[in-house]
């Protein structure tokens, strides 16, 4: 997509963020697996579609449901 990128390992993001959803501040269940709405996902703070980078500095932990609700907006819904 022509944006800056680096290797982003999801588990490193989750550990860094203490398994806490950055959108709702709720705990993320490490045992929940996709497509469980409570499962962990990596969200881009500035979405790729808006020119954000795929870097550790631009990603955060989010529940799958929170991430899907946010979509490609810059802030949580």
Distance of alpha carbon 40 from alpha carbon 61, whole angstroms: 7
pLDDT tens profile 60-75: 999 999 999 999 988 7
Residue 2, domain member (yes or no): no
**Range(s) of the domain holding residue 20:** 10-70
Backbone phi and psi for residue 37, each to the nearest 5 degrees, phi listed first: -60, -25
Q: Which pTM was predicted?
A: 0.89
| Residue 31 tokens, joined | 């045992």
For residue 77, the model assigns a pLDDT of: 55
Q: Is residue 56 part of a domain?
A: yes
Q: Does any domain span residue 5?
A: no
Q: Which of 3-7, 11-15, 18-22 has the lowest mean pLDDT?
A: 3-7
pLDDT of amino acid 76: 62
Number of structural domains in the chain: 1
């Amino acid at each position: 997509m022509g944006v800056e990128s680096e290797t982003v390992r999801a588990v490193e993001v989750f550990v860094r963020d203490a398994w806490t959803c950055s959108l709702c501040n709720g705990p993320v269940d490490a045992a929940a697996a996709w497509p469980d709405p409570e499962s962990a996902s990596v969200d881009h703070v500035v979405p790729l579609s808006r020119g954000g980078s795929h870097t550790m500095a631009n990603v955060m932990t989010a529940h799958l449901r929170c991430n899907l609700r946010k979509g490609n907006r810059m802030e949580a819904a």
